[in-house]
């Protein structure tokens, strides 16, 4: 874990979210690429007017001044940084910069959850999750308001890497996620490794078959934990059953997790519409930072 791309729109608490990444220093973090993409529509295609060069300059300068302030804090913490400010379509630009800079992780912020639309992830971030097919994406939700037992509670995710809940479905992306977690050694205290036997499976199988799957899952979970322990990270297995997304969220609350880690298959919009994406649903609904590994 050497290089992280931190994408921001300079929303409130963006700097705090950046500071929370400094825990990764213990995992070897060397450099942060501070990135701001000026959406093309903000400055270009003024109807019958053309391009607002002055406005672009103003936005660039504004971003540069803010970033330079952040750079000082990073420098004090012993982490190098680089500023990238560009104009364009935010998501493709971010992915292109991340690939060019060869970063290990992209970090994007959450959206402000509204009463009408109770999700923490905006359309841009969802698109980023779909588009980043090679680099893991962390949605950092530094401070969120969430519903707990009927009450609106404020939650601050100050140390997201401390105790992640890693939910696996045994897929290739899950394997990748496991490998990725091993690179976080030093930043992670303990990992809870979980597998959920989904409703669809449990419904369609008889008891003996279900027992066989249960045993097999336990063995696999132990193997995952062994891999983590071998890498020097404490790990604990958890096997449960139910609706996958809600069960993962329930488990994360019960275990006091600080982050949810999932593998993601990177479904496009069409597939996602018909099949649905568990990882995206969790990213939208959980109050915890969510790390999706393709």
Partner 1 sequence: MTRGKFSLLFLLACLTVLPAVAFASEAGHGHEGINLGEVLPLYSAIPFAGMLLSIALMPLFLPKFWHHHFGKVSAFWAVLVAIPMVIAYTGTALYEFVHVIVADYVPFIILLWALFTVSGGILLRGSLRGTPVVNTVMLIIGTALASWMGTTGAAMLMIRPFLRANNYRKNRSFMVVFFIFLVANIGGALTPLGDPPLFLGFLHGVPFTWTFNLLPEMLVVAAIVLCIYFVLDTYMYKKEGITAPVDEGVKEPFGLDGALNFLFLAGIIGAVLMSGLVDWGSINMFGIHRSVADLARDGILIVMGALSLVTTSRKVREDNDFTWAPILEVAYLFAGIFVSMVPCLLILKAGTKGALAFLIEAVKEPAHYFWAAGILSSFLDNAPTYLTFFSTALGSYYPGMPEAQAVPKLIAENAIYLKAISCGAVFMGANTYIGNAPNFMVRSIAEEAGTPMPSFFGYMVKYSIPVLCTTFVVITYIFFI
Residues near partner 1, by CB under 8 A: 40-41, 44-53, 55, 87-89, 92
Cβ proximity to partner 1: between 52 and 231 the closer is: 52
Backbone phi, psi, residue 152, to 5°: -85, 120
Cβ proximity to partner 1: between 55 and 214 the closer is: 55
Residue 181 C-beta: closest distance to partner 1, Å: 30
Residue 46 C-beta: closest distance to partner 1, Å: 5
Cβ proximity to partner 1: between 60 and 190 the closer is: 60
Residue 43 C-beta: closest distance to partner 1, Å: 8
CA distance linking residue 194 with residue 174, whole number of Å: 11
Residue 122 C-beta: closest distance to partner 1, Å: 18
CA distance linking residue 221 with residue 287, whole number of Å: 25
Residue 91 C-beta: closest distance to partner 1, Å: 9
Backbone phi, psi, residue 149, to 5°: 50, 45
User: What three-state secondary structure class fits 39?
Assistant: strand
Beta strands in the chain (DSSP E): 3-7, 31-39, 80-88, 105-109, 137-140, 143-148, 151-156, 164-168, 190-198, 234-242, 259-263, 290-293
Quickly count helices (H) and strands (E) in the chain. Answer: 11, 12
Residue 96 C-beta: closest distance to partner 1, Å: 9
Cβ proximity to partner 1: between 42 and 222 the closer is: 42
Cβ proximity of 4 and 32 under 8 Å: yes
Residue 51: which residues within 8 A CB-CB, separation 6 or more?
Answer: 43, 44, 45
Residue 50 C-beta: closest distance to partner 1, Å: 4
Cβ proximity to partner 1: between 62 and 175 the closer is: 62
Q: Positive or negative, the Cα torsion across 117, 122, 127, 128?
A: negative
Place of tokens 């969220």: 249
Cβ proximity to partner 1: between 56 and 169 the closer is: 56
Distances 220 to 185, 214, 238 between C-alpha atoms, Å = 21, 10, 11
Cβ proximity to partner 1: between 77 and 87 the closer is: 87
């Amino acid at each position: 874990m050497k290089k992280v791309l931190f994408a921001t729109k300079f929303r409130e608490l963006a700097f705090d979210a950046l500071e929370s990444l400094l825990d990764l220093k213990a995992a070897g973090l060397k450099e942060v690429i501070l990135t701001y993409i000026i959406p093309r529509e903000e400055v270009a295609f003024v109807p019958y007017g053309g391009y607002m060069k002055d406005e672009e300059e103003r936005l660039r300068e504004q971003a540069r001044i803010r970033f330079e302030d952040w750079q000082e804090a990073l420098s004090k913490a012993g982490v190098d940084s680089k500023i990238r400010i560009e104009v364009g379509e935010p998501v493709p630009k971010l992915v292109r910069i991340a690939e060019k800079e060869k970063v290990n992780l992209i970090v994007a912020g959450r959206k402000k959850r509204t009463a009408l639309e109770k999700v923490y992830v905006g359309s841009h971030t969802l698109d980023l999750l779909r588009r980043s097919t090679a680099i893991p994406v962390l949605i950092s939700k530094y401070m969120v308001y969430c519903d707990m037992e009927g009450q609106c509670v404020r939650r601050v995710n100050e140390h997201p890497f401390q105790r992640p809940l890693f939910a696996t479905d045994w897929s290739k992306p899950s394997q990748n996620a496991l490998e990725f977690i091993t690179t976080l050694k030093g930043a992670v205290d303990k990992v809870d490794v979980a597998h959920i036997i989904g409703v669809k499976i449990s419904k369609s199988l008889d008891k003996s078959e279900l027992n066989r799957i249960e045993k097999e899952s336990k063995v696999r979970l132990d193997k995952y934990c062994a891999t983590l322990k071998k890498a020097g990270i404490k790990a604990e297995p958890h096997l449960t059953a139910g609706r996958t997304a809600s069960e993962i969220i329930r488990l994360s609350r019960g275990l006091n997790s600080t982050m949810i880690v999932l593998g993601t298959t990177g479904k496009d919009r069409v597939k996602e519409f018909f099949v649905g994406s568990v990882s995206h649903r969790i990213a939208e609904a959980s109050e915890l930072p969510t790390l999706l590994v393709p």
